[in-house]
């Protein structure tokens, strides 16, 4: 089975803790991941709002990413092309597709998108939970949607054939983005509002719109997004997957773990790291998904969408 995951914060955590990706305390680590290969892991440079020099912060994370790619050439391959995806599958490697979480990474310079593009970044989001120069985040206090600068940002991503990620966007920012985005939008790590009423989750109409545009939603493993009790495991992850499959079809849902981006109390009870991914496969089987559907959910859907941008 080819596993594709829409989001993890592992590389930023590894940088901040001065770790390599082989470190076993990471939820996504080389030893466990190689046992499940082939894997394509969308690897985020997450830019916390606390960093005033957000472009430099993004560069620091990307530099650590590149060091890891060079240090583990037998295990890791940066994915930039369709051919790279094929190599990952055929040679059972771990492919890493570089993404940016929080558009504040470009600061006030649209030309910084070009820099990230040359570094192999394929996916960029607009906001994190806070408001920024581009638009409003999921936890905004006044939802004004995309700014004029934010509209230019989306248009520039379209020009570069980069994927727009709407996870963490406010509801109005989401709809403003959908209006001007000429290509499929994705939500790298979100869940379903109708199952858990958290502001980070997507409402059914938003999910339907992503599906209409041939995009995809990666279900996040954060327990606070999965259950209003804050306690959840693969049962609840599977329920969110099933909700999207029932709402818009099985082709529009995948994984969006948020490995290494969750607090200890937000980690699922039986999916604490990549080594436990088979627990989710078993849960999907238990609730009635067929083998070919599980293959799509676990990775093939993401590959279909990603390849449209390569």
**Sign, CA torsion 181/186/188/191:** positive
Residue 24: what pLDDT? Answer: 96
**Sign, CA torsion 240/241/242/246:** positive
Residue 27: what pLDDT? Answer: 98
- Say if CB 300 and CB 258 are below 8 A apart: no
Residue 139: what pLDDT? Answer: 98
3-state secondary structure 49-64: CCCCCHHHHHHHHHHH
At a CB cut-off of 8 Å and minimum separation 6, what does 51 contact? 57
- Say if CB 121 and CB 96 are below 8 A apart: no
Q: What is the pTM of this model?
A: 0.97
Element (H, E) at 279: helix 277-286
pLDDT digits (tens, 9 = 90+) for 192-240: 999 999 999 999 999 999 999 999 999 999 999 999 999 999 999 999 9
pLDDT digits (tens, 9 = 90+) for 36-86: 999 999 999 999 999 999 999 999 999 999 999 999 999 999 999 999 999
Pull the structure tokens for residue 31. 């030893």
At a CB cut-off of 8 Å and minimum separation 6, what does 172 contact? 136, 143, 144, 145, 146
The Cα 304–Cα 298 span in angstroms is 12
pLDDT digits (tens, 9 = 90+) for 243-283: 999 999 999 999 999 999 999 999 999 999 999 999 999 99
* CB atoms closer than 10 angstroms to residue 246: 9
Average pLDDT, stretch 2-27?
Answer: 98
- Say if CB 91 and CB 142 are below 8 A apart: no
- CA angle 103-254-92, nearest 5°? 95
The DSSP secondary structure of 80-146, one letter per residue, reads -SHHHHHHHHHHT-EEEEEEEESGGGGTT-TTHHHHHHHTT--EEES--SS--SS--BTT-SS----
Residue 266 DSSP symbol: G
């Amino acid at each position: 089975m080819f596993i594709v995951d829409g989001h993890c914060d592992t590389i930023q955590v590894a940088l901040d803790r001065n770790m390599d990706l082989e470190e076993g305390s990471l939820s996504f680590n080389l030893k466990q991941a190689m046992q499940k290969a082939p894997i394509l892991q969308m690897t985020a440079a997450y830019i916390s709002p606390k960093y005033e020099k957000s472009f430099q912060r993004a560069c620091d994370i990307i530099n650590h990413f590149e060091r890891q790619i060079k240090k583990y050439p037998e295990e890791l391959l940066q994915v930039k092309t369709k051919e790279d995806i094929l190599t990952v599958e055929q040679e059972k490697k771990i492919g890493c597709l570089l993404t940016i979480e929080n558009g504040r990474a470009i600061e006030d310079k649209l030309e910084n998108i070009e820099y990230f593009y040359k570094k192999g970044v394929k996916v960029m989001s607009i906001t994190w939970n806070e408001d920024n120069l581009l638009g409003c985040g999921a936890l905004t206090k006044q939802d004004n949607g995309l700014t004029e600068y934010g509209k230019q940002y989306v248009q520039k991503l379209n020009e570069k054939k980069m994927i727009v990620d709407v996870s963490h966007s406010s509801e109005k920012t989401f709809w403003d983005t959908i209006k001007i985005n000429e290509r499929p939008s994705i939500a790298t790590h979100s869940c379903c509002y109708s199952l858990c009423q958290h502001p980070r989750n997507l409402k059914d109409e938003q999910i339907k719109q992503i599906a209409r545009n041939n995009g995809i939603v990666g279900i996040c493993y954060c327990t606070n997004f999965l259950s209003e009790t804050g306690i959840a495991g693969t049962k609840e992850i599977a329920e969110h997957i099933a909700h999207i499959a029932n709402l818009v079809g099985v082709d529009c849902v995948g994984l969006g773990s948020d490995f290494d981006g969750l607090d200890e109390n937000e980690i699922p009870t039986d999916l604490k790291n990549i080594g436990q991914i088979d627990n989710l496969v078993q849960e999907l089987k238990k609730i009635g998904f067929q083998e070919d559907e599980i293959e799509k959910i676990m990775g093939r859907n993401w590959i279909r969408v990603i390849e449209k941008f390569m």
